[in-house]
Chain A
Amino acid sequence: MLLIHCPYCDEARPEVEFAYGGEAHIARPVDPSTYSDEQWEEFLYIRSNPRGRHHERWRHTHGCGRFFNAVRDTVSDVFETTYKAGEARK
């Protein structure tokens, strides 16, 4: 079973309690109406999809309910670290 460390609960918890939330650190545009179609497409759909270190959002859905960020290796599936939402990119 894959264990994920929740930075709010400060505990390693089973993966089934969590929900994946896509790539992290993608800021929602403050004023989308000023965006061109290309910029809007970029915001909605274009993701980095790296091989290796990936910054991503997770939610401890069946636990404390909080969104947080994680760095996970997309090849080995190993979680390098997790940190609270709002903290700087690691």
Chain B
Amino acid sequence: MVEIAEIAVSAAELKLGTEPVQGAGVRLSLAEGKVRYSMRARDPKVLEGVLGREVPKRIGGTDAGIACLGPDEWYVVLPDNFDLPRGEGLPVSVVDVSSRALGLVLEGPGALAVLCSGCPLDLAKMGVGRATRTVFETVEVVIWREAEDRWHVEVWRSFATWLWNAFLAAMPDAK
């Protein structure tokens, strides 16, 4: 039997807040009520036929909840009443990955500085409405700039507690 060592941080410290936290110029909250899909297709037109709508073609572009992450890969975050067609039998993959990730939302004029504390990208130059996969410290995230001062960060759920606390640590006067 494998024994799993206890983590060196107390459970009390590693709490993923379900309540938003307000800091000086920045608010951190959990994006609830979302469905997520990972979509792959070599030919975007086939995927568009399945979905009955256009998908962004440029890497980093987004359109109404669909982000183009790679030349054949899209990531979807939509309110949880959406159900996308799966395109059975066609050369596409539309997979519900809702439970795989959580969304953390940073809002306010101080949000950019919190993200920049761990992300190596020049996020100040990232346009509103753009999304990209990248890292925060060593944790993979998808960063979505929803508005000038509103950033949606998707993270795999086993990393979410750590990321929440890392954001908190970078938020001035968080309470």
Looking at chain A, what size class is its interface with the partner chain? 10 to 19
Q: How far is the CB of A83 from chain B (nearest CB, A)?
A: 14
A14 and B60 alpha carbons, distance in the complex (Å): 16
Taken together as a complex, chains A and B put the C-alpha atoms of A64 and B120 apart, in Å, by: 16
Q: A64 and B140 in contact (CB under 8 A), knowing A13-B121, A16-B135? A: no
Interchain CB contact (< 8 A) of A14 among B59, B73, B121, B138: B121
The residues of B that contact A13 with a CB separation of less than 8 Å are: 121, 134
Chain B residues near A14 (CB-CB < 8 A): 120-121
Expressed in whole angstroms, the Cα–Cα distance for A13 and B143 within the complex equals 14
Per-position 1/0 for A1-18, Cβ under 8 A of B: 100000011110110110
B116, chain A: closest CB distance, angstroms: 12
B134 touching A8 by the CB < 8 A rule?
A: no
9 smallest beta-carbon distances between A and B, as pairs: A64-B70, A14-B120, A65-B70, A62-B135, A9-B59, A62-B140, A64-B59, A8-B71, A63-B133
Residues of A near any B CB (own CB < 8 A): 1, 8-11, 13-14, 16-17, 62-66
Q: Give chain B's interface residues, CB within 8 Å of chain A.
A: 59-60, 69-71, 73, 120-121, 132-135, 138, 140
